């Protein structure tokens, strides 16, 4: 695969240091995104996602890949949901069928491969479980990279594949947001590489492969995209991916980005409904709880501004759903669609069902993609 240089630039002020990788803009602190220098994108032949979608990813050296990639996950058309909502096509992207049963497998290979290209030998991450488990799954086979994983004690049971000698767990006796803070402090104190979280172009691109794969499976122009939202890096990644897909003439529009949170931990929904472009102190959830454990981020202060921009630009929204609505969506997936989703994955469907109740006219005849993330 060709080694076309990657150009990194700021989504806010357009500043660029060319091929020099960064997580935040050195001028304004904004989100760094990327493009190929030739701005040319195509889907290649191949069995695995990374080889097929290579042109759309911030990778340059195929010899530095960590793992081979992922085979396609199922795309399920729901005739029942189409009839209920009057939408055109309602498609469910079933990411539960990936190796570690979540969308984070797509993220992990791109993130680790980029680190390998950059020569990173040791990095730091904090996770509610799915991110670290997907990274650990690959690191069990690729022991040349060491991972320091900061885990809030309540989330320890959600972390799997962590018994490799190159994986060091740091248990934090607090909530997830505090584990993030401890991870950043450890990174700075020990001069290590932080995986970047929301600000990692590689992680966002990896997650967004699910959207590109769904398009390849269906050849549909999607009008709406629903996803459960914690930091929002999956939704922002879809925005970046669809921008490139438009350049490749695969689609003719960016879908409305619909970010769904559970009502027990919905700081972004609170800010959006208040018409705020930033997270204010009253929006922060200090001790988040909820059945959708993977999205319990109570303080998305650094993430929300850029996500707010792309959601409003695409005429999307932030939606809050209750525990009962999540359980009902999970039951529907398990019993009616053959999708064995967790509450985390079912949250996106709960958001779609709630939106469909009050926006039938908007959804009528429209194509919808719902990412069942795990």
Cα 193 to the center of its chain, rounded Å:
20
Res 2: pLDDT: 64
- Percent of the chain surpassing pLDDT 90: 95
100: DSSP letter: T
Could you report the per-residue pLDDT of 189-207, keeping only the tens digit for each?
A: 999 999 999 999 999 999 9
d(CA 330, CA 150): 29
Q: Are 258 and 310 in contact (CB under 8 A)?
A: no
Furthest C-alpha separation in the chain: 56
Res 176: pLDDT: 65
Cα 307 to the center of its chain, rounded Å:
12
- Partnered with residue 90 across adjacent β-strands are 368
Q: Are 360 and 82 in contact (CB under 8 A)?
A: no
Q: Are 166 and 137 in contact (CB under 8 A)?
A: no
d(CA 231, CA 302): 9
Say which residues have a Cβ less than 8 Å from residue 132's Cβ, sequence separation at least 6.
125, 147, 149, 151, 159, 162
Cα 365 to the center of its chain, rounded Å:
27
For residues 176 and 34, the model is more confident at 34
- Partnered with residue 31 across adjacent β-strands are 24
* CA dihedral over 72, 78, 81, 82, signed as positive or negative: positive
For 118, other C-beta atoms within 10 Å of its C-beta total 13
* Proportion of the chain in helix, strand, coil states, percent, rounded to 5: 45, 15, 40
DSSP string, 327-358: HHHHHHIIIII-----HHHHHHHHHHHHHHHH
Task: Give start and end residues of each alpha helix (H) in 119-222.
Answer: 130-139, 176-190, 201-218
d(CA 19, CA 31): 16
Mean local confidence (pLDDT), 346-352 = 98
Could you report the per-residue pLDDT of 50-87, keeping only the tens digit for each?
A: 999 999 999 999 999 999 999 999 999 999 999 999 99
Q: Are 197 and 180 in contact (CB under 8 A)?
A: yes
Q: How many Cα atoms sit within 13 Å of 232 on the Cβ side?
A: 30
* CA dihedral over 292, 294, 299, 304, signed as positive or negative: negative
Q: Indicate the average pLDDT of the chain.
A: 96
Q: Are 242 and 211 in contact (CB under 8 A)?
A: yes
- 341 pLDDT more than 70: yes
Provide the 3-class DSSP secondary structure of residue 243. helix
Could you report the per-residue pLDDT of 115-154, keeping only the tens digit for each?
A: 999 999 999 999 989 999 999 999 999 999 999 999 998 8
* Residue whose tokens read 């498609």: 91
* Domain 75-102+202-372 part of CATH 3.40.50.1100: yes
> Taking Cα atoms as reference points, which of 78, 89, 70 lies closest to residue 338?
78
């Amino acid at each position: 695969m060709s080694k076309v240089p990657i150009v990194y630039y700021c989504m806010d002020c357009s500043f660029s240091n060319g091929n020099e990788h960064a997580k935040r803009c050195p001028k304004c602190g904004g989100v760094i995104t990327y493009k190929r220098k030739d701005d040319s994108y195509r889907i290649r032949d191949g069995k695995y996602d990374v080889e097929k979608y290579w042109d759309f990813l911030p990778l340059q050296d195929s010899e530095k890949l960590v793992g081979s990639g992922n085979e396609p996950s199922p795309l399920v058309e729901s005739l029942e949901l189409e009839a209920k909502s009057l939408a055109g096509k309602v498609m469910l992207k079933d990411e539960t069928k990936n190796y570690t049963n979540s969308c984070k497998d797509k993220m992990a290979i791109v993130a680790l491969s980029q680190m390998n290209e950059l020569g990173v030998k040791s990095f730091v991450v904090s996770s509610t479980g799915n991110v670290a488990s997907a990274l650990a799954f690959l690191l069990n086979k690729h022991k040349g990279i060491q991972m320091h994983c900061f885990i809030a004690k309540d989330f320890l049971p959600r972390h799997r594949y962590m018994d490799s000698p190159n994986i060091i767990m740091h248990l934090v006796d607090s909530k997830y947001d505090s584990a993030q803070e401890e991870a950043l402090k450890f990174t700075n104190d020990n001069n290590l590489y932080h995986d970047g979280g929301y600000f990692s172009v590689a992680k966002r691109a990896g997650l967004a492969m699910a959207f590109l794969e769904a398009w390849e499976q269906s050849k549909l122009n999607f009008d709406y995209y629903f996803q459960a939202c914690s930091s929002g890096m999956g939704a922002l990644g879809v925005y970046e991916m669809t921008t490139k897909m438009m350049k490749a003439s695969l689609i003719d529009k960016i879908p409305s980005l619909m970010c769904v949170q559970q009502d027990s931990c919905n700081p972004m929904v609170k800010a959006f409904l208040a018409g705020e472009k930033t997270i204010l102190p009253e929006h922060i959830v200090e001790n988040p709880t909820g059945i959708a454990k993977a999205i319990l981020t109570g303080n998305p202060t650094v993430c929300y501004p850029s996500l707010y921009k792309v959601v409003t630009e695409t005429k999307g929204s932030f939606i809050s759903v209750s525990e009962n609505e999540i359980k009902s969506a999970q039951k529907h997936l398990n019993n009616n669609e053959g999708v064995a989703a967790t509450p985390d994955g079912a949250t996106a469907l709960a958001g779609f069902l709630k939106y469909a109740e009050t926006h039938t006219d908007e959804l009528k005849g429209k194509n919808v993609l719902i990412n069942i993330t795990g």
